[in-house]
A = this chain, B = another copy of it.
């Protein structure tokens, strides 16, 4: 006897066809391959309440192959699931809403997008390969919150070519996250062609077993087989992976060919497609679906981590003492990366939501201090930065505040993951250490140089809630690193903290305060107005002090934040000689661009830049490399003299 849900899947298939045709775009063939899997999960196996998608106790579904989303929208609408950007703005989705797919004012975005009002999802997906890592982050969060929930992640077979999937599979085993279940949708077709044999169901089964999984090899259109496999998740000591053999365009003959990826039917083809689905229903002897959608099993009640309005850390002196840095402070030499470690520990004491992930460099980023103080809140991701960033996005969705650290350079391979976190409006804090060229001896393969330009682009975009899509912090000394890390923790949104390798003197008093969008004023004068940032502020300060001895007094600002309020700097420059010099350790496009854009709007201040002018090479230490690039103290002095003369 057939499962009564099978007839509902037929109807879901019709909705998929109609909604994508109405939208004029979308991926009906991929969605159709998932009808039985999504139906089994959302109608029957997942414990959740469609009327309360914000319930932290719910089982979750991450649709890593985001383009298949119409099948989830259809099922959720059939259940009358709740949509809206917040519980206050909630409403039930109707089957009628499905035809608004991809419209500007619809919650049904082209790909999964919780931020636009579809809270059933935890993460924006659609750039492939990232969902399993998000699921792993959700599972870590559930474990921390002592919530027994399961996370299902649907991944395309072609998508399983993305290396990040294999990073996540390793991570899940390392951390024994048996509650996360990857489901591979093996329909055999990619976009441009069939999938490689390397991504075939048979080879996938072998790979997954070698990675340590209990593999359930099922017919992805047999709901009993899917249900039996799903029911095993979280029950034993092994992680379950489901390999589901499916057919692209299932039920609709005109969508089965490989040329149909991402192509909706024309309006004229819809009736044929419906008839094709009805014919399959008749062949399978399914009775018509009728009555309301079946209620999925309810989750047990549970709470996520407690929220606080403000996270306040202990005084700087106390934190550095606690983390063994008092001597370095006394010697007036403490790197910003080390001070970041102290800040992270202090944050950990202040709020249980603070968690940290790192990619096998925690003894360089100093996330290791947090790992030592809070071993259950530190998650080693090993050398796999993409997975690390998406895990952080998952932890954020679970209510935690994750700090994700690596060398700034290595984070560049995760910019796509960062972009998806930005679209999700995830509360992730990225921390890139060893930034710029002050790293010196290790050479350019370890130097992050275009990152300031990249991140500045995000700081100028709004997140749709009136906040920047990303807030960027660039501490020049240990006090700034401590306080700016605290500030990052208090922002509900994506932040980036950029730290440096070398020890630097303390520029700010230990009780200095910092302001969002602000900058520090370190010297005053009527000659040139100098703007330093990060490590370069130390060099700029040395240059300004040297010029002071020669009787040339400059303004010196430390720009530690983007987006920045440029006006105080422009205003100071107007009162001086009308000339600004920015001094940076990165390629162009950072603070120089921010000030130049502001100056070019006002038209009454000139802005000149010193930035990293070329691809560097190794040198014995950072100062040697900086000098070779024309960014040493003496280079700054010389440039300031030129600009002071006008």
Contacts and interface: CB of A to CB of B under 8 A. Distances in A.
A473 B475 CA distance: 35
Interface in A416-440: 416-417, 419-420, 422-423, 425
Interface string A496-527: 00000000000000000000000000000000
Given A103-B620, A104-B619, A162 B207 contact: no
Interface stretch (A145-153, A457-465, A551-559): A457-465
B614 A110 contact: no
B453 A457 contact: yes
A383 B128 contact: yes
A482 B284 CA distance: 53
A192 B368 contact: yes
A387 B442 contact: no
Nearest to A190: B360
Given A103-B618, A614-B464, A360 B192 contact: yes
A75 to B, nearest CB: 20
Given A162-B384, A170-B198, A458-B587, A102 B619 contact: yes
A589 B457 contact: yes
A302 interface: no
A287 interface: no
A289 interface: no
A174 B116 CA distance: 40
A615 interface: yes
Contact of A457 (B203, B368, B588): B588
Interface stretch (A306-314, A407-415, A530-538): A407-415
Interface residues of A, number: 127
Interface centre among A163, A203, A596, A607 (most CB of B within 10 A): A163
B191 A620 contact: no
Interface string A617-637: 111100011001000000000
A604 B197 CA distance: 62
A592 interface: yes
A237 interface: no
Contacts of A162: 163, 167, 383-384
A494 to B, nearest CB: 10
A595 interface: yes
A562 to B, nearest CB: 11
A230 interface: no
Nearest to A592: B597
A170 B174 contact: no
Nearest to A456: B589
Contact of A615 (B125, B364, B463): B463
Interface in A165-181: 165-167, 170, 173-174
14 contacts: A110-B441, A111-B445, A128-B410, A129-B383, A161-B383, A163-B164, A163-B167, A192-B363, A423-B445, A453-B454, A456-B589, A457-B587, A457-B588, A602-B606
Contacts of A95: none
A127 B386 CA distance: 13
A299 interface: no
B606 A601 contact: yes
Contacts of A111: 442-443, 445-446, 618
Contacts of A196: 170, 174, 382
Contacts of A292: none
Interface centre among A458, A460, A595, A604 (most CB of B within 10 A): A460
Contacts of A384: 161-163
A568 interface: no
Q: Chain copies in the assembly?
A: 2
Contacts of A126: 442-443, 445-446
B409 A413 contact: no
A456 B586 CA distance: 12
Interface centre among A66, A198, A206, A446 (most CB of B within 10 A): A198
A420 B447 CA distance: 11
A358 B161 CA distance: 13
Interface stretch (A208-216, A240-248, A273-281): A208-216
Contacts of A33: none
Interface of A: 23-26, 66, 102-104, 106, 109-111, 113, 115-116, 124-129, 158-159, 161-167, 170, 173-174, 190-193, 195-199, 203, 206-207, 209-212, 358, 360-364, 368, 380, 382-384, 386-387, 409-410, 412-417, 419-420, 422-423, 425, 441-446, 449-450, 452-454, 456-458, 460-464, 469, 586-589, 592-593, 595-597, 599-609, 611-615, 617-620, 624-625, 628
A614 B415 CA distance: 18
A109 B600 CA distance: 40
A596 B198 CA distance: 50
B618 A597 contact: no
Contacts of A457: 449-450, 452-454, 586-589
A433 to B, nearest CB: 13
A470 B613 CA distance: 13
Contacts of A617: 104, 109, 113, 116
Contact of A454 (B414, B442, B450): B450
Contact of A382 (B199, B360, B464): B199
Given A104-B628, A127-B410, A445-B124, A469 B614 contact: yes
B104 A625 contact: yes
A382 B628 contact: no
B198 A456 contact: no
Contacts of A445: 66, 110-111, 113, 124-127, 420, 423
Interface centre among A25, A166, A387 (most CB of B within 10 A): A166
A97 B263 CA distance: 61
Contacts of A110: 441-443, 445-446, 618
A167 B166 CA distance: 9
Given A207-B211, A360-B158, A383-B161, A102 B601 contact: no
A461 B419 contact: no
B382 A161 contact: yes
